Structures are given as C-alpha cells and as structure tokens.
Chain A
Amino acid sequence: MAGFSLRPCGDFRTTYRQDTRIFDTTYIRNAAILGIFAVAMIPFVLDGYYVNLFIQISYFAIAALGLNILVGFTGQISLGHAAFFGFGAFASAWINNTTGIPVLLSIPLAGLMTAAVGMLFGLPAARIKGLYLAIATLAAQFILEDFFARAEWFTGGSYGAAANPINVFGYEIYDDFSFFYVALFFLVVMYLLGTNLMRTRDGRAFVAVRDHYLSAEIMGINLTKYRLMSFAISSFYAGVGGAMYGHYLGFVSAEGFTILLSIQFLGMIIIGGLGSVKGTLMGTVFMVLLPEVMESGVSALSVFEWASSTAVTDGLAYIKEMAIGLAIILFLIFEPDGLAHRWQQIRAYWKLYPFSY
C-alpha cells in the first residue's frame, strides 16, 4: 500500500478526528506527555548547568520554529532572524519598562511588535525570491543591528537595556529553577500552536506556496498575503524567543544579535529538518549541546600528557568552533532531510526489522 505508516498492526482509525491527531498513536502521545513530565523533573535531579542549557534550548527552539515556518514550510529564505530575535528582546524590555505591563504579557506583546517589523522587512518577499530575498533579509539584519545601536530611547543604545525578571502573581522569578518552568511552559505552548497551525488552513497554504506557488494561486491562495503572513508569524516566534532570552539574562545588549546567530538559527533548522516541527526542536537541542559536548570532550582529553601542552589546548578550543561547521556540512551531505527524517527511518527500521521494507 502506498503511504507507508508506522502504526502498529490492528490500529485502525475509524473517525476523521482520530486521523488528524498530532501523534500517530496514543502510545507516542503518552510517551510525549511523559517526556514533558520527565523534563520537568530536570531541576530536581540535575544541577544548574543542565537547567541553564535547557532554558537556552527553549528560547532558541521557539525562535528556530519561527524560522522553520518561514524557510522550511513557506520556502522563503531569511538571513535576518537574529535581528528579529534581538528586536523581541528589546521590545519586551521596553514595553515592560515604559508601560509597566507585566513581563508575562509583554513577552507576547513583544512578539506582536516583532511580527509587525518582520512584516515590514518581509514586504520585498511579495516580489522577489531565492537569493535576492536572502540579500533583502540580510539588509534587515544590518538595519536592525544599526537601529539597536542608535535608538537609545528603545534599546538604551550601547549601554543596552535592563529587562525585569518575570513576575508571576507577585512572585518574582530570579533564579534558573523557576525560570525553567516558565521556559518549559512557553516551549510547549508555542510548539503546540505551531503544530496546530501547520495542520490547518493557513499552514497548508504555506506549504502550497512553497511546493508550487503557481498552482497555489490557482487554488485560491493569495500569494502576497501568505508570504507576508509567513514573515509575520516567523518574526512573532523570533520575538517571543528573544523576549524570553532578554528576561532570562536580565539585560539585553545589542552585541548578541549578529548575523552569526542568524546562521546558527539556519543551522538548527537544517540539521533538524526543514519543514518539520519536531525536527526544529531536535536541531536546536543538537546545536546547543554540540559545543557543550565538544567542551567536555576537550576537557576529558586533558588527562593525557600530550593534550596539556598549550599548543594542543589552544587548538582544541578551535575544534569546538569548527565542529559546528563540520556538523552542518556533514548533515547536508549525509542527511539533507535532517534529524527528523533520520528519526523516522530509525522508527521504520525497528518496525520492519528484520526486513528492510
């Protein structure tokens, strides 16, 4: 039968509702819920280092999902995602500092503001595609970076902006331990929203625009509207992720949002899998953990006599940087569809074992 399924034998769907569920089987759904609970246990079990890593993963993953909606699902390229991420961070701090709107509200508001800015910079997308659009978004990156440095009323200029900690019902969240749960909450909610978006009308329209824009238009999809909307939604996610980042660090400075971060976002979604929601999360985890794993690998080497000379330790520090580049190249060669696809294949392998198909 065409349309290979990973469902176990005898698991038949009898209603359309069953057939449109997010998870293939109830087993997987339960495993995912259990997984979330397991992750929620992290602060109790592991030390602060891992909690910090998880928080990093969560705000990057939210922003990366936005980029994947734009690049992976709608097929438009953006090299300015870090600028939108930064704009969200400044916007949330600014909203909270000037109007006193609670941080928990100012984060989505900052997302909306970033969406508006993203739409503005997405306007060229109505006309241009591919490499040309990449250059146009590159302009967004540099314009916004310049804006961060100059607009003192908004960003505090070169001094940066202070971002208040999140305040939940009068309880201020200063430490990683409690911020962890805020991050987890946002991560789960944003990923659920993203998943739902992709299985409803506008999500399908995005993919239609990507796969064949001419016939998408014939099917009644307004190309300009959807290209812009994709930029807006992508920036919204970037804004929310950036706002979380700002309030987590307590301080936002213009230096952090360079094109390097934009490229890293692209790396996350390419490694994870373009056009895959769960792949985005996998790619982010990979990109955040890779330097850490390399770091611990390097320090593990230091037990050897030869590795403790300065020449070697200096070289090993660079290996960490190079590993990221190498990882992207290797993924492009061996797994262009990303970790999500690899995961699918691993599942298929176990399902079909000992046969190959």
Chain B
Amino acid sequence: MTSQSPILEISDVSLVFGGVRALSDVSFSVQPGELFSIIGPNGAGKTSMLNCVSGRYTPTMGSVSFKGQDVTGLKPNDRAELGIGRTFQNLALFGHMNVLDNIMVGRHHLLKNNFVNGPLYWFGGAQKEELEHRRFCEDVIDFLEISHIRKATAGTLSYGLRKRVELARAVALRPDLILLDEPMAGMNLEEKEDMARFIIDLNEEWGMTVVMIEHDMGVVMDISNRVMVLDFGRKIAEGLPDDVMANKHVKKAYLGEEDDDSDEDEQVA
C-alpha cells in the first residue's frame, strides 16, 4: 500500500482564526483505497481539518494535494469536480427537495445539460441524459436502502435517514475520496451497524478512499485501516488502530493525566 503515491497529502497545514490556532502543522497522507479515521476530543480541529480538505477553509499555512495536484487554493466546487465528496456533521440536505433530487444534485458536475438545452428537455438530449443519471442514482438508492423514501421531502425525514440520504448524495458524486464527518453521530446501534456496513462497502466494493471523523471508538477501531488523533489542533498520534489505542499521548488526551492504569476501559467516546 505504501508503494503507491498517496491520494491525499496534507503537509504542515495550520489554520488560524484570529488568535485561535485551530490546526498547527498537521501533516498526514492517505493512500488510495484506505479507510482512514480522524479522532480526537471535542474542539480538537477534526472538522476544521476536513474543511481544509473539502475547501470550506483555506489553510493559513501548508498545502493540500489531491491525486498529486495541489488543491490548496481551489474552491469547493472545483474540488468536487476533481473527486472529493463529503457529508456534514450537522445535516446539510436540501430540505425542500425530495430525496431523489437531493441525490441528483450530486450528479451535478457529471451532467452536461444546462440552462439552454435543459428547458428544451425533449429536443436537446437533456431528457436522455437525466434518465441515464437517474439510473445511477437509483443504484445508489438501492445500495443505501432508501428506495422507500425516494420521493419524500428530505426535510421531513428522521435523523438516521437524513444521514443516509446525505451519504447517498455524496456517493452520487462518484468521488474518489469521500470525507465523512461523524456519519454515526446520534444513531442507535442498529443504524450504526448499517452505516458501518455501508462505509465498508463503499471502501471495498465501490473503491472509494474514505476519510472519516467518528467518536464511536468501537466502530473506528473495527473498520479503520489507520487512525490519526488530533488534540488542540496538533497531531498526537497516527498509525494502526491498536497502536494508537495504546499510545500514552492518546490516553492522556482522552482521559487526563492519570494514564498508568493499564486495565481501564478503552471505549472512550
């Protein structure tokens, strides 16, 4: 895996808001096909890190490169075209659209029809194109098991379903790298199991590289290939899940100074 060139490379990224250093000199790289998790206590800068990758924030210092191309200065929509998709921690669906249209928005950069031949629908090939992409969206809907709600208005759905629709929307982009910001927050056990299965399938069957922020340590340790730990904007550990779990800095960050107790419960969340 290490022989390949990384799909995502973060070098010395710092992010400063006024006097607050949200991120300080964070570097890491993600290999193609990896399932990479970022963990850390609240306010550690995990979402800021993801925002730097998806383009919401531009890092104050350092660079972000995707597939060998420097994307540090690119706008989010350009990064989406390059193949970065993401979901949000706080739901960000298009509330008044139905689920299907939400997912079709994910196809935006792959669709060619525009304000000229779109209105001419039947004559400019727009209909044909829309129906082709609809087929793909239906595959995504099928995969995420949301076919029963495809015509429901997104804003009326339950939390767990909205999370799933949001994942569907990001998958419809057909990204090479998908960023998931707390995909399981607020879910019950059953929904979490489903979501974990979807993430593994995305990674293994759909071939997407996954970067995930998650607080549920059980899930993170079970499904991640590698884990990075942030604390107060600094990277304090990176490596295989078990190694990270045993790291004394990590224990300190999560549990405080007393880290000599060896049999303590590691299910910290």
A binds B: yes
Which residues of A does B touch, CB under 8 Å?
A: 1-3, 5, 16-17, 19-20, 192-194, 196-197, 199-205, 207-208, 210-212, 214-223, 229, 233, 275
Closest chain B CB from A113 CB (angstroms): 17
Instruction: Say yes or no: B98 contacts A208, CB within 8 Å.
Output: no
Asked whether any CB of chain A lies closer than 8 Å to the CB of B21, the reply is no
Inter-chain pairs besides A19-B134, A196-B126, 18 sampled, C-beta below 8 Å: A2-B148, A2-B149, A3-B151, A16-B138, A193-B119, A197-B119, A201-B118, A201-B126, A202-B114, A202-B118, A204-B101, A208-B97, A211-B95, A212-B92, A212-B93, A218-B54, A219-B77, A221-B77
Q: Do A275 and B96 contact each other (CB < 8 Å), given the known contacts A2-B152, A202-B114, A207-B101?
A: yes
Asked whether any CB of chain A lies closer than 8 Å to the CB of B252, the reply is no
Asked whether any CB of chain A lies closer than 8 Å to the CB of B183, the reply is no
B contact residues around A3 at 8 Å (CB): 98, 149-153
Q: Can you give 16 A-B contacts (C-beta < 8 A)?
A: A2-B149, A17-B127, A194-B119, A197-B119, A199-B130, A200-B118, A200-B119, A204-B97, A204-B101, A208-B108, A217-B55, A218-B76, A219-B105, A219-B169, A220-B80, A221-B77
Contact partner, B77, options A20, A192, A200, A222, Cβ 8 Å: A222
Contact partner, A219, options B131, B134, B148, B173, Cβ 8 Å: B173
Number of interface residues of B (CB under 8 A): 50
Instruction: Say yes or no: A215 contacts B94, CB within 8 Å.
Output: yes
Compute how far the CA of A205 lies from the CA of B106 in the bound complex, rounded to whole angstroms. 10
Q: Do A233 and B115 contact each other (CB < 8 Å), given the known contacts A204-B97, A217-B77, A219-B173?
A: yes
Q: Looking at chain A's contact residues, is the secondary structure mostly helix, strand, loop, or mixed?
A: helix
Instruction: Say yes or no: B120 contacts A193, CB within 8 Å.
Output: yes
Asked whether any CB of chain A lies closer than 8 Å to the CB of B217, the reply is no
Q: Do A205 and B119 contact each other (CB < 8 Å), given the known contacts A16-B134, A20-B131, A217-B76?
A: no
Contact partner, A208, options B94, B119, B131, Cβ 8 Å: B94
User: Digit string of B195-214 for contact with A (CB within 8 Å is 1, else 0)?
Assistant: 00000000000000000000
Asked whether any CB of chain A lies closer than 8 Å to the CB of B48, the reply is no
Compute how far the CA of A17 lies from the CA of B56 in the bound complex, rounded to whole angstroms. 37
Instruction: Say yes or no: B92 contacts A215, CB within 8 Å.
Output: yes
Closest chain B CB from A104 CB (angstroms): 19
Compute how far the CA of A1 lies from the CA of B150 in the bound complex, rounded to whole angstroms. 11
User: Digit string of B51-89 for contact with A (CB within 8 Å is 1, else 0)?
Assistant: 000111000000000000000000111001100011010
Nearest opposing residue in chain A for B135, CB measure:
A16
A contact residues around B173 at 8 Å (CB): 219-220
Nearest opposing residue in chain B for A203, CB measure:
B118
Instruction: Say yes or no: B149 contacts A20, CB within 8 Å.
Output: no
Instruction: Say yes or no: A221 contacts B92, CB within 8 Å.
Output: no
Compute how far the CA of A251 lies from the CA of B22 in the bound complex, rounded to whole angstroms. 63
Compute how far the CA of A233 lies from the CA of B101 in the bound complex, rounded to whole angstroms. 21
Instruction: Say yes or no: A211 contacts B98, CB within 8 Å.
Output: no
Compute how far the CA of A210 lies from the CA of B97 in the bound complex, rounded to whole angstroms. 11
Compute how far the CA of A140 lies from the CA of B96 in the bound complex, rounded to whole angstroms. 30
A contact residues around B156 at 8 Å (CB): 2
B contact residues around A233 at 8 Å (CB): 115
B contact residues around A221 at 8 Å (CB): 77, 105, 108
Q: Give me the 7 closest cross-chain CB pairs, A-B, nearest first.
A: A220-B80, A200-B118, A3-B151, A215-B92, A211-B94, A2-B152, A193-B119
Compute how far the CA of A218 lies from the CA of B57 in the bound complex, rounded to whole angstroms. 12
Closest chain B CB from A4 CB (angstroms): 9
Compute how far the CA of A19 lies from the CA of B147 in the bound complex, rounded to whole angstroms. 14
Nearest opposing residue in chain A for B104, CB measure:
A204
Closest chain B CB from A247 CB (angstroms): 23
Nearest opposing residue in chain A for B106, CB measure:
A219
User: Within residues 12 to 56 of chain B, which ones have a CB less than 8 A from any CB in chain A?
Assistant: 54-56
Asked whether any CB of chain A lies closer than 8 Å to the CB of B159, the reply is no
Compute how far the CA of A220 lies from the CA of B54 in the bound complex, rounded to whole angstroms. 11
Asked whether any CB of chain A lies closer than 8 Å to the CB of B187, the reply is no
A contact residues around B119 at 8 Å (CB): 192-194, 196-197, 200
Closest chain B CB from A7 CB (angstroms): 11
Asked whether any CB of chain A lies closer than 8 Å to the CB of B121, the reply is yes
Compute how far the CA of A212 lies from the CA of B109 in the bound complex, rounded to whole angstroms. 17
Instruction: Say yes or no: A207 contacts B96, CB within 8 Å.
Output: yes
Closest chain B CB from A172 CB (angstroms): 30
Asked whether any CB of chain A lies closer than 8 Å to the CB of B113, the reply is yes
Nearest opposing residue in chain A for B108, CB measure:
A220
Compute how far the CA of A233 lies from the CA of B116 in the bound complex, rounded to whole angstroms. 10
User: Within residues 166 to 183 of chain B, which ones have a CB less than 8 A from any CB in chain A?
Assistant: 169, 173
B contact residues around A217 at 8 Å (CB): 55, 75-77
Compute how far the CA of A318 lies from the CA of B106 in the bound complex, rounded to whole angstroms. 52
Closest chain B CB from A207 CB (angstroms): 6
